[in-house]
Chains A and B, each alone.
Chain A
């Protein structure tokens, strides 16, 4: 029980149209509930999962965008977003929702969980993880 592994969940697909994005989020919440070290990576079309103002009324599926904002409550503190993937899609950090966590070591101050990083830094994040799961 004492071994905490670093899990990195890699999200490469658009939020709707397939079940991958929602399933990934469910697995993340389960993993985090078991107190593993969980971080998420968003690249390629996966960056669309974090865009603001989603409305799924027209396609009749659940809008799970608000659930990302609960990740802070689950102590998920790192959501890596690849800058190149954003730029290739005409997006910037301003187009993304806000996700915060409370830093235990800093008087529970709210800090942003989303970190926009370069493709090279993303490779380092992947190398640093014990387990990489791709969705």
Chain B
């Protein structure tokens, strides 16, 4: 299974998470988002970029509770809450946004 981006194929697993984290590009994020029926806008990019920075620093994709708490701390309570995050990513902010960000499935997600 693979995504197609700029004539290149990028492998992913049965749930859509890419196999090699190094394959990620912003263009690929748009492709994954489309497959998830999500239109990327500034607000969604903000979360995706936040997750990539979090992974870079801690080497893990955070669980949803931790993600929302961290967003609250850095971007404020109007963004760091369940309602806002689930509006952006209806199938789970951690699961779906991590997929778009090219990260592994969050630790603790079943």
Contacts and interface: CB of A to CB of B under 8 A. Distances in A.
Interface of A: 26, 29-30, 33-35, 62-64, 66-67, 69-70, 73-74
Given A30-B107, A34-B108, A73-B70, A64 B65 contact: no
Interface residues of B, number: 12
Contacts of B107: 26, 29-30, 33
Nearest to B67: A73
Contacts of B108: 29-30, 33-34
Interface string B48-62: 000000000111101
B31 interface: no
Contacts, number: 35
Interface in B18-54: none
B63 A66 contact: no
A54 to B, nearest CB: 11
Given A30-B107, A30-B108, A33-B108, A70 B58 contact: yes
7 contacts: A34-B108, A62-B59, A63-B59, A66-B58, A69-B57, A70-B62, A74-B66
Q: Lowest 10 A-B CB distances belong to which pairs? A: A33-B108, A33-B63, A70-B58, A30-B108, A29-B107, A73-B66, A67-B59, A66-B59, A67-B60, A66-B58
Contacts of A69: 57-58
A91 B32 CA distance: 47
B104 to A, nearest CB: 11
B59 A64 contact: yes
Interface in B90-110: 107-108
Contacts of A66: 57-59
Nearest to B108: A33
B69 interface: yes
A93 B84 CA distance: 42
Contacts of A64: 59
